[in-house]
């Protein structure tokens, strides 16, 4: 049974990395992104292509992060021009564009994706690596939150016009958030490619983006530990919900509605509310 738990833990770790990264963009900086899977995919493809060509695993992963970060920079720059309401749909567009482009490129495997990606280490070792990186990303996020950068992010999320008049170069901070968030998605993608050994375009579609966003919102947008909890919960859901097997998507949809209705600040919101009540 251990192998099973390890593999669950591995995917939970990947989802934590994705959710914490998205939280940087959406939670800290207020930029709702519906296309996070594009950066996940960009990292996966970049790393996979290098690995298949014979490059060492570590370098492939770094390359994945780099490409995803660069893509994040480009999208971030584009997002600056666009009004807040439009941003969500623009990011959705980025997601579809990424997918629509990648599936047509023969050098990226087209519809067949990239296959025969070498497995660089045992599954157990991969689990440890994934969890390690997840912890590092969490630490980074917490540090950023408490640092001056985090304070600026919070100001920007609240009211970026006000932040601008206070003299902050809002653009720079938004871009920084985008790049860090997307680079971490790239690392997650690189790991994913080496675990599954075959990546296809459909693994990085709109549904994946929504799932990651759901983890963030259910966990509590803006709260690092909240989104960690959200990521773990949603990873375990298919396993936990095997007893409602046939109805699991119905339950999932219902869960999203109920959580938004009862606790829009997600799990973090519930925890805070309980803590407040205890303080009296």
Partner 1 sequence: MRVRVIRRAAIGAIAALALAGSALAQEPIRIGFHVPLTGFAAGDGNSALLGAELAVEQINAEGGVLDRPLELVVYDDQAAAEQAVPIANRLLGEGVEAVISGSYSAPTRAAAGVFQKESIPYISAYAIHPDITRAGDHVFRTSFMGEVQGRAGAKLVGDIMDKQRVVLITLNNDFGQSLAQGFKEAADQFGIEIVNEYSYGLKDRQFGSIVASVKRDDPEAIYASGYFFTAGPLVSQLRAGGVQAPIIGQEGYDTQQFIDIAASAAEGVIITTSLDRDTEDEAMRAFIEQFEEKAGFPADMVAATTNTAVHVMADAIRRAGEVDPQKIRDALAATEDLPTATGHITFNELGEIRKTVQAQVVRDGAYHRYAVIDDPELLAPPSQ
Partner 2 sequence: MFHVELLVVGLIQGCMYAMMALGLTLVYGLLRILHVAHAGLFTLGAYVGVLTANAGLPIGAAALLAIAAAAAAGPLLYHVVYKPLLDKPPHVALIASIGVLIAMTDGFRLLFGPYGIPFQENPWFVTGWSFGGVFLNAIQIALAIAAIVLIGGFAVFATRSRMGVAWRATVTDPAMAMTFGVDPGKVRNLAFAIASGLAAAAGVLVGLLNNLVEPGMGNIVAYKGLAIIVLGGLGNVPGTLVASLILGAAESFGTIYLDALLDRDAIAFVVLIIVLMWRPHGLLVRAR
Which residues in this chain contact partner 1 in the complex, by CB under 8 A?
A: 1-4, 6-8, 10-11, 14, 103, 110-113, 115-116, 119, 123, 192, 195-200, 202-203, 238-239, 242, 245-246, 248-249
Smallest CA-to-CA distance from 20 within 127, 155, 152, 133 is with 133
- Please state, in angstroms and rounded to a whole number, the distance separating the CA atoms of residues 149 and 162: 16
Of 261 and 278, nearer to partner 2 (C-beta) is 261
Our measurement of the distance from residue 16's CA atom to the centroid of its chain's CA atoms, rounded to an integer in Å, reads 7
Q: State the minimum distance, in angstroms, from the CB of residue 266 to partner 2.
A: 10
Q: Which residues are CB-contacts of 142 (< 8 A; sequence separation ≥ 6)?
A: 224
> 200 touches which of partner 2, partner 1, none (CB within 5 to 8 A by kind)?
partner 1
Q: State the minimum distance, in angstroms, from the CB of residue 26 to partner 1.
A: 22
CB 10, CB 123: distance < 8 Å: yes
> 161 touches which of partner 1, partner 2, none (CB within 5 to 8 A by kind)?
none
Structure tokens at 238: 């298919």
Of 123 and 165, nearer to partner 1 (C-beta) is 123
**Across-strand partners of 199?**
114
Q: Is 198 helix (H, G, I), strand (E, B) or coil?
A: strand
The helix (H) or strand (E) run that includes residue 114 is strand 114-115
> 26 touches which of partner 1, partner 2, none (CB within 5 to 8 A by kind)?
partner 2
> Which residues lie near partner 2 (CB under 8 A)?
26, 32, 78, 81-83, 85-86, 88-90, 92-94, 96-97, 99-101, 103-104, 206, 210, 213-214, 217, 221, 246-247, 249-250, 252-257, 260-261, 264
Q: State the minimum distance, in angstroms, from the CB of residue 216 to partner 2.
A: 9
Structure tokens at 204: 């990085």
């Amino acid at each position: 049974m251990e192998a099973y738990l390890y593999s669950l833990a591995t995917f939970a770790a990947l989802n934590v990395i994705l959710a914490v990264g998205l939280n940087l963009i959406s939670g800290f900086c207020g930029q709702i992104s519906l296309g996070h899977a594009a950066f996940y995919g960009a990292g996966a493809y970049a790393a996979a292509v290098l690995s298949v060509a014979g490059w060492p695993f570590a370098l492939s992963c770094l390359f994945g992060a780099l490409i995803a970060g660069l893509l994040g920079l480009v999208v971030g720059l584009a997002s600056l021009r666009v009004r807040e309401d439009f941003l969500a749909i623009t990011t959705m567009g980025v997601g579809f564009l990424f997918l629509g482009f990648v599936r047509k490129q023969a050098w990226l495997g087209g519809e067949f994706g990239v296959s025969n990606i070498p497995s660089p280490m045992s599954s157990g070792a991969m689990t440890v690596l994934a969890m390690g990186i997840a912890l590092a990303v969490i630490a980074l996020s917490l540090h950023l939150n408490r640092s001056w950068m985090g304070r600026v992010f919070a100001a920007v999320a609240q009211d970026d016009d006000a932040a601008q008049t206070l003299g902050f170069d809002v653009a720079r901070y938004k871009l920084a958030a985008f790049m860090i968030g997307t680079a971490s998605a790239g690392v997650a993608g690189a790991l994913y490619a080496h675990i599954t050994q075959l990546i296809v375009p459909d693994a990085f579609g709109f549904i994946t983006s929504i799932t990651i966003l759901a983890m963030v919102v259910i966990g509590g947008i803006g709260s690092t530990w909240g989104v960690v909890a959200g990521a773990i919960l949603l990873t375990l859901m298919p396993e936990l919900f095997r007893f409602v097997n046939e109805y699991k998507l119905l339950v999932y949809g219902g869960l999203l509605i109920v959580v938004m209705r009862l606790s829009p600040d997600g799990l973090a919101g519930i925890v805070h509310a309980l803590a407040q009540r205890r303080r009296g």
